[in-house]
Structure 1
């Protein structure tokens, strides 16, 4: 495998986006100048300067924040390629970064807040942010977006600039714009790209409580831990995230390290246990508290009746987490098998490198050894080893300094925070669901109101007496005439669509030909079933057909067939399920009565039957959603509820 092929497997197309990770790119206006090439030393210098300015401006927000997995950082595109950024951004100098938030969604929205703050402090920047789900800011504002905007049409259109969300308009770029075109247009037409106030409000409401919410998301608790762990947390409080990760993501292999506690409590002595105050996120605290874990054999634990048992148990979980993550990263650092190795291995399997061999077979092991040997010789192996070994080296540096138990004994510790939020989250969840429900109801109300205005139809009163039921039949005919596609039938908003080539009169005659027997037709004198059916059969027969049937025999057969069909239908209740034209006429003519002949099928009043069926279906829904109300809603009609139904 060549080096070029090896590197190509890590590009954006071949690698999967990490789950639970937010990505962001910062594009300064100067990067759009033709003079600023990605490899230009002056461009790199400017990006580095901007990088430091941004981190310095945000330091007051992030100084005491404990991230779930990794801190907020930025890198210059000229220094390291962005494997997760779109390929269109590679030729534009910019800053980029990613942050894995895991189970702590607060980290992701805190990043969004930081990016909005960055755009306010540096107005000449355009910022993109997305995650594994795509443009998640649009998901947050889904009820307020323009109709044309969807995941397929949002490419290179969504940016943060000047403290606001911007959407590149479709009227200026009908098709997907390039990233360069979008950034150029955005930098010169901010007033035309700014999203509507409702979209802005939806997103601002999500981040309006920051940075205070970030402080509230922290939880302080007193724990009993080995002195080595206390020393680490004293110098690097943020490393608590490593301990929680090691404990929460433990497996059979890492549990072996916790059993020995070789690095953090080798003597298993109670004299090495001290009491300290630890700051962590609420998500971390929940991950530690919600899992039952048996203390390793020999680990000093007080009796359960002891008042400090809870602090000792929580400290034991933290200490075991440190031991497991330290030993695993140390081993992986030596082997260099981190995230890039997993991507490399996955690509080999995807490209058929192992050729369907069973894992563990002799040939499979040989190919795996070759792949590992090639990986160890690559630059990626060295870079991955450095990344994995960084926490291990930092822990070793801290523990190499002298420290004693006396440094931690006798100190006044702040009280632990109230953790009732861990058990009383139902109210907060219900409040969030209620807020979403109100938002959906508001959207539905406005959507229906706007649709009624656009269509210009619909009842103006809630009383059936004020509503013309003939509109149903009329609207159904208009609805059939409208345009439809593979996505379903739609009523065009502009009313300018061409009619479907559909002969309604001919269609109704065909229906009547099925419902009306020959003797009824001959009595009316205006419709001959035998003639029509014979005509249809003539159409089916080609002119050059060699088969010639006697016309009289054909008519005799069709007449007999029609009589037999009529006889069968008369023995059923099918004919009684339709309202017929003569019945409605009899009811209209006062003082007259006409007894219908049982042997006579009269024409069906199609419009009346249609309205009757709609009203019956609508009434059976009892105000709930159903096929009748949905169909009428598509046609722009809304029937009032029958208030007299139960009276």
Structure 2
């Protein structure tokens, strides 16, 4: 990546994380020719309308990592970095679902619900796999659709999936053209019913059924942790993330527990029982890991019962997760470091900014300091700092308020949910596998049906080939050549098998020739071999005296002509023996040459002898090659064979 004086440390190109869903919402038709203030006001109005519609659900639901949100682009009139799209007015968002795949499909169901409630909205969703909606419906997709042809062709509109066919837009469509086609009611872009059914099976019952993915559990935690969970229940996601992604450095914070085991005055904090709600994925991440309680953390005796011990152990993991998350984010915010800084630093290393510099050297530190200063002045830094510091700031605000353990005593807590799903998921897995197996069987059945149809077509083609005889072409051509034609063209009946003989008034023909060429034409015609000799001897009446005179003259000329043709033929054979013309024609075997009828001659590679060219074979090969090169389109060969009534079967290689 090249650097410039104004931007010596360019930002890295965005790469979609493996656990993040990206989505965008567009108003149709897109507002055009609006000044930036009016465009921004229009998007803000749409933003408020959509959030108001989703508020009843979002306020009560808990996501595994990030909540479903919609935000305005930084500059609606500029290309969007998040969507990697041109400056088309829209709202967008990114949702990290982590290990909770149901959250991804829940977000998709919300997009379907929004486009159903707002008919003039279109949405699109993608993740690191690309158009993952198409992956879900892979067995029902049209054959032309693949990752290379899918960009800007898949949209959610009016509660259904829409796919732009290549017949509508052959090349990769622009986003503006694609949105216009989706909004155009005269254009059918709705995906096939099989594709719709595959997607609807995945989001059936959502978002109403989303509560089934949540788990409620009683826990024993420090009063400070209970206070935070009571004020901001969504922070449980950050605590579980901190516990699950812990490393040696963050575990040092859990060993001290400086924030959540000490009160405002430095005194110890009491343990209280409270109820916490989390996703099933969070509960599994906490329960399936062994973790020793840090020194100084109060745990009950095992003699007090397994239920109390389980509540205390689960609460201890949550409390340690809060401590690790809080301290790590506070340090990253102060040091202006975090995941975004690490990505930025690695991109600098990849572009060669530190090439030839020894880590720790004076020049290395100078370049690193320049990079840090540039990072601090960027919007990327301010956004990263705000995101990192937001949970820390909110926790400080909550714990700054007065609280005590008495607030959590005497409260009627809901019982813990049954967690048998955590250990008995075999039935659910088998049901999912059975569903996938059913899809595979249906796909294979359709594939087998198509194959049988192709085989039936091929067999019919083979039967046609068996019935078809190459000799028909030769016979038809010979019969066609023997027919006479006039200045108006050749006469070929529609069916050669029903051909009738063509009658020609020879006397009238020669009279017409004599009137044009003079009297010598009659005499020349008698010597011409262009007509069938059998027909000439029977159909033409010449004067006896003229015929005898002609015969005497011809008998003398014939000997001279024969001597000339013999010497000319020898000279021609000698000249052609050194060329490759013999390879241009198919020749009959030499042993059968004497049995062949009149045919053209070619030069053999053996002893320079003349071997007969198989005229019929060369004729058939030439016509069939011409017919095949037409690829089913009209052309000279197909037209000629059709006039002669010869039907050539389909090319077996291409079928």
Query: Which residue of the partner structure matches residue 442 of structure 1?
Result: 442
Query: Which residue of the partner structure matches residue 25 of structure 2?
Result: 26
Post-superposition shift, 1:525? 9.6
Post-superposition shift, 1:92? 1.0
1:343 and 2:343 are equivalent in the alignment:
yes
Query: Which residue of the partner structure matches residue 160 of structure 1?
Result: 156
1:84 and 2:82 are equivalent in the alignment:
yes
Q: TM-score, normalised by structure 2?
A: 0.67
Aligned-partner SS, 1:456? helix
Aligned-partner SS, 2:310? helix
Aligned-partner SS, 1:275? strand
Q: 1:190 to 1:440 in 2, by over 3 A?
A: farther
Q: Distance in 1 between matches of 2:188 and 2:328?
A: 52
Post-superposition shift, 1:404? 0.8
What pairs with 1:319-398 in structure 2 (closer than 5 Å)? Answer: 319-355=319-355, 357=357, 359-360=359-360, 363-398=363-398
Q: Distance in 2 between matches of 1:2 and 1:383?
A: 24
Choose which of 53, 56, 60 in structure 2 pairs with 1:60.
56
Q: Distance in 1 between matches of 2:387 and 2:21?
A: 20
Q: 1:164 to 1:451 in 2, by over 3 A?
A: same
Q: Distance in 2 between matches of 1:292 and 1:525?
A: 93
Post-superposition shift, 1:171? 0.3
Choose which of 282, 287, 290 in structure 1 pairs with 2:288.
290
Q: Distance in 1 between matches of 2:365 and 2:303?
A: 53
1:213 and 2:209 are equivalent in the alignment:
yes
Query: Which residue of the partner structure matches residue 571 of structure 2?
Result: none
Q: Provide structure 2 residue ranges, at least 5 long, that are not aligned to the other structure.
A: 467-582, 594-604, 609-651
Post-superposition shift, 1:2? 5.6
Query: Which residue of the partner structure matches residue 240 of structure 1?
Result: 236
Aligned-partner SS, 1:241? helix
Give per-residue Cα distances to partners, 1:543-580, cap 9 Å, x unaligned.
Answer: xxxxxxx99xxxxxxxxxxxxxxxxxxxxxxxxxxxxx
Q: 1:110 to 1:7 in 2, by over 3 A?
A: farther
Query: Which residue of the partner structure matches residue 35 of structure 1?
Result: 33
Q: 1:7 to 1:78 in 2, by over 3 A?
A: farther
Q: Distance in 2 between matches of 1:271 and 1:391?
A: 21
Query: Which residue of the partner structure matches residue 281 of structure 1?
Result: 279
Q: Which has the larger radius of gyration?
A: 2
Q: 1:212 to 1:382 in 2, by over 3 A?
A: closer
Q: Is the 8 A contact 1:68 1:102 kept in 2?
A: yes
Task: Tell me the number of residue pairs that the alignment of Structure 1 and Structure 2 aligns.
Answer: 475
Query: Which residue of the partner structure matches residue 169 of structure 1?
Result: 165
Q: Is the 8 A contact 2:216 2:278 kept in 1?
A: yes
Query: Which residue of the partner structure matches residue 591 of structure 1?
Result: none
Q: 1:420 to 1:191 in 2, by over 3 A?
A: farther
Q: Is the 8 A contact 2:217 2:415 kept in 1?
A: yes
Aligned-partner SS, 2:216? strand
Q: Is the 8 A contact 1:452 1:458 kept in 2?
A: no
Q: Is the 8 A contact 1:455 1:636 kept in 2?
A: no
Aligned-partner SS, 1:220? strand
Q: Is the 8 A contact 2:9 2:348 kept in 1?
A: no
Post-superposition shift, 1:7? 8.1
Q: Is the 8 A contact 1:330 1:388 kept in 2?
A: yes
| 397-406 vs 365-374, greater mean Cα deviation | 365-374
Give per-residue Cα distances to partners, 1:202-226, cap 9 Å, x unaligned.
Answer: 0001001212431000000000000
Give per-residue Cα distances to partners, 1:259-290, cap 9 Å, x unaligned.
Answer: 10000003798861000000000000000000
Aligned-partner SS, 2:156? strand
Q: Is the 8 A contact 1:260 1:266 kept in 2?
A: no
Q: Provide structure 1 residue ranges, at least 5 long, that are not aligned to the other structure.
A: 461-467, 475-505, 510-520, 527-537, 540-549, 552-633, 638-647
Query: Which residue of the partner structure matches residue 424 of structure 1?
Result: 424
Query: Which residue of the partner structure matches residue 565 of structure 2?
Result: none
Query: Which residue of the partner structure matches residue 11 of structure 2?
Result: 9
1:256 and 2:252 are equivalent in the alignment:
yes
Q: Distance in 2 between matches of 1:226 and 1:459?
A: 79
Q: Distance in 1 between matches of 2:16 and 2:155?
A: 20
What pairs with 1:432-511 in structure 2 (closer than 5 Å)? Answer: 432-457=432-457
Post-superposition shift, 1:362? 5.5
Query: Which residue of the partner structure matches residue 124 of structure 1?
Result: 120
Post-superposition shift, 1:145? 0.7
Query: Which residue of the partner structure matches residue 409 of structure 2?
Result: 409
Q: Distance in 1 between matches of 2:5 and 2:442?
A: 57
Q: Distance in 1 between matches of 2:72 and 2:422?
A: 40
Give per-residue Cα distances to partners, 1:78-107, cap 9 Å, x unaligned.
Answer: 55874231232xx11110111011111011
Q: Is the 8 A contact 1:269 1:300 kept in 2?
A: no
Q: Distance in 1 between matches of 2:5 and 2:214?
A: 46
Q: Is the 8 A contact 2:223 2:269 kept in 1?
A: no
Aligned-partner SS, 1:427? helix
Give per-residue Cα distances to partners, 1:233-270, cap 9 Å, x unaligned.
Answer: 00110100011001000011111100100000037988
What pairs with 1:307-322 in structure 2 (closer than 5 Å)? Answer: 307=305, 308-322=308-322
Give per-residue Cα distances to partners, 1:492-544, cap 9 Å, x unaligned.
Answer: xxxxxxxxxxxxxx9xx9xxxxxxxxxxx99x999xxxxxxxxxxx99xxxxx
Q: Distance in 2 between matches of 1:55 and 1:33?
A: 20
Post-superposition shift, 1:41? 0.8
Q: Distance in 1 between matches of 2:169 and 2:22?
A: 25
Q: Is the 8 A contact 1:73 1:97 kept in 2?
A: yes
Q: Distance in 2 between matches of 1:636 and 1:316?
A: 70
Aligned-partner SS, 1:87? coil
Q: Is the 8 A contact 2:9 2:374 kept in 1?
A: no
Aligned-partner SS, 1:84? coil
